[in-house]
Structure 1
Amino acid sequence: MPIQCQIITQEREVFDEDVDIVLAPAVQGQVAILPQHAPLVTALAFGEVLVRQGEKETAFAVGGGVLQVTPSKVIVLADSADQAQEIDVEAAEEARRRAEELMREGAPADPEEYASLQAAMLRAKLQLKVARRHRPRSGTGPRAMDFSE
């Protein structure tokens, strides 16, 4: 019996399918959600959300948000969410370089501008990590879920 998983941002619905397991980065640590899980609401950290449907695994770079779980449904309300296969690695690399360069030039005086710059850098680094980990590489087969990070 699968569990419905929705991943939603302010801009769009990123994912909505029945899955066997959801692995998400809660602020207290990684959580694994299976069908019939106890109700749960928790804040999400920047990290990788993995969903598995049989042998198929889909990864998302998620930039914080809220995770809501009922016995039959998982809702990820994310500040940002990008499926690994959709991430533009060149654009993420450029965003990371630009943010690091601005940080080296000195921290902005405005706390909101500084927080925004830090968030942009974290998001770019996360996108690169998720894209590189889950993009197919020649000569390799499917990769198993890694619960160690």
Structure 2
Amino acid sequence: MAERDRDEIGKARNSRPRDELGRPLPHGSQGVPRIPDDLELTPAESLKYAQELLDQGLAFNAHEVLEAAWKSAPDDERSMWQGLAQLAVGITHVQRGNTAGAAGVLSRAADHIDEADRPAPHGVDADGLIGHANALIVDLARNIDIDAERLRPRLVSA
């Protein structure tokens, strides 16, 4: 049996390469660059990086950036960051063709983002993102094709 890749405290690492939608590829395959597990960015840097990834169609990677921000966020912002990470996961499900999974995660994302103060911290466009997630849910239920541009929401108000 092959040894699992683990960090210094024994936690399993997932070092398998992944495709642009975050699906694992066989060992030795060429995947998209991975987001480091120990990513430490300011909130503004996290939002900027996640936006760049969303704009490239890499919602799974954007999720990893937003999840790192969520894990290090102060208590009063954690729900918002969780919602942002879930929004990226919901978009990943849309990209993968998993409409039922996408709708459920997008609904939870909207609920978490809605818990943010207004105006939301760090310029996050909470109301716009909630509307965006809800519009995607409606279109998924109606089986309406969603073009790639709609899967690149603006995280921060202009």
Same-fold status (TM-score > 0.5) = no
Structure with the bigger RCO (C-alpha within 8 Å, sep 6+) is: 1
What is the TM-score normalised by the length of structure 1?
0.32
- Structure whose residues are more often strand by fraction: 1
> Taking structure 2 as the reference length, what is the TM-score of the superposition?
0.30
Q: Which has the higher helix share?
A: 2
